[in-house]
Amino acid sequence: MQLKKGLFAFMLFIVSFAIIKVFSFSFENRQPDSNSHATENVNFVKAIQLPQNMDFAGEKVPLNMYDVAERMDRELTVNVYWQSQTILFIKRANRWFPIIEPILKKYNIPNDFKYLAIAESGMMNAVSPAGATGFWQLLEAPAKQYGLLINDEVDERYNVEKSTEAACKYLLEANTAFGSWTMAAASYNMGITGLRRQVESQKQSNYYNLYLNEETARYIFRLMALKEVFEHPARYNFKLRKKDLYPAIPVTKMIVDSGISNMADFAAMYKVSYKTLKLFNPWMRQPKLINKERRRFTIQLPDVDFNYERYLERMGIEDSIAAE
C-alpha cells in the first residue's frame, strides 16, 4: 500500500514538472530577443519634428524663440494627431479652395488666408454661441459694414463667395492698420480695436512679442499648422487619393429679381428637391422669398448631368495621391 502511494506521488511529480517546463518554454519563446529586431515593426507614436523655416503670408516665423517654437509644436501636434478632423479639412478644401482662392487674389490678399476659413469654421456654415456665422464667422454688425445683406429672409454670411469678399475687405483694413498680415490675421480673432489696445499698452507691434489671450495667442500657429500639413501631407503620414476628396460640383446660376412664394414649388420647377435648393443656397433663410425691394439674387442649382458615382469611377482610374 505504501509502495503504491509513493509511486503515485512520484508520477504526479513527473507530470507536473513536465507541464511546467512546457509552459515555461512556450512563454520564453514568445518574448522578444533583446538582441533581435523584433520591435522594429511596432508603430510608435512619434514626436513632431518642426520644419527649420516657416512663414505666414510671406512673414517669417521666429522659431528661434523658445515659446514660439513650443506653441508651433503644440498646434502642429494637435492637427497631425487629430487625424479625423484634419482628413475632413483636406477633403472639404478640394471643393471650397477653388472658390475662395480667386477672391483672395482679386483683393490682393495672400493665399495663406484660405486657412483662416478652416480655423474659423472647418469650412462649414457654423454658428458660434456669440452669433458669428458662416465660413468666415462674421458677426452681424461687421458683416453689414462690409456689404452683406442680413434680414429675416436672407443672410449672406451663408454665401461663401460674398462672405469671402467681406472677409477680404476686413483684412485689407486690418493690414492697413497694423502694417502686417500676421497682425491682420490675429486681429480677425480679437478685433482691430482689441489688438490695437494691446499694442499700445504693451508697446509692442510684433505679434510674436505680444502677450495675448490664449485663443489669439494660438490663432496664427493653428493657421500655420494647417498650412504645413496641407502643403506636406506625406511628411505627416496623410495619404488621400483624388477620389477621396469632395468634388467641386458644377452649378447653373440664375438671377431672381422678384419674389418666390414657395421654395418647394420653385425647386420642383427645376426638378430638384427643396433640400437640394437649400444646400446650394443656404443664404435663403425662409421657405419663401418676398423680396419687396426687388433685389437681384443669384440662385445656384447643381448641373443635371453631374453624377457622383461616375465622378468617383473617373477619379478611381488614377490611383495617385491627392496632394504632395
Q: Please identify, among 191, 221, 240, the residue that sits at the C-terminal boundary of a domain.
A: 240
316 within domain boundaries: no
119 with 156, same domain: the answer is yes
110 within domain boundaries: yes
pLDDT confidence tier of residue 321, bands split at 50, 70 and 90: low
163 touches 150 (CB < 8 A): no
154 touches 282 (CB < 8 A): no
Q: How many whole angstroms separate alpha carbon 21 and alpha carbon 92?
A: 60
289 with 148, same domain: the answer is no
Q: Which helix (H) or strand (E) holds 80?
A: helix 66-81
108 with 209, same domain: the answer is yes
Smallest CA-to-CA distance from 111 within 94, 98, 124 is with 98
Q: Please identify, among 183, 206, 240, the residue that sits at the C-terminal boundary of a domain.
A: 240
Smallest CA-to-CA distance from 120 within 160, 180, 80 is with 160
230 with 258, same domain: the answer is no
242 touches 236 (CB < 8 A): no
What pLDDT, on a 0 to 100 scale, did the predictor assign at position 306?
A: 74
127 with 275, same domain: the answer is no
133 with 73, same domain: the answer is yes
107 within domain boundaries: yes
Question: pLDDT digits over 131-162, tens only?
Answer: 999 999 999 999 999 999 999 999 999 999 99
Q: What is the mean pLDDT of residues 3-10?
A: 50
245 within domain boundaries: no
pLDDT of 79 over the 50 cut? yes
Question: pLDDT digits over 168-178, tens only?
Answer: 999 999 999 99
176 with 291, same domain: the answer is no
pLDDT of 307 over the 80 cut? no
Dmax (CA) for the chain in angstroms is 115
* 3 state SS of 324: coil
At a CB cut-off of 8 Å and minimum separation 6, what does 209 contact?
Answer: 202
192 within domain boundaries: yes
Smallest CA-to-CA distance from 96 within 74, 75, 120, 79 is with 120
Q: How many whole angstroms separate alpha carbon 113 and alpha carbon 171?
A: 9
What pLDDT, on a 0 to 100 scale, did the predictor assign at position 313?
A: 73
227 with 286, same domain: the answer is no
Q: Which helix (H) or strand (E) holds 60?
A: strand 59-60
101 with 231, same domain: the answer is yes
Range of the structural domain that residue 268 is part of? 251-305
272 with 185, same domain: the answer is no
pTM, two decimal places = 0.83
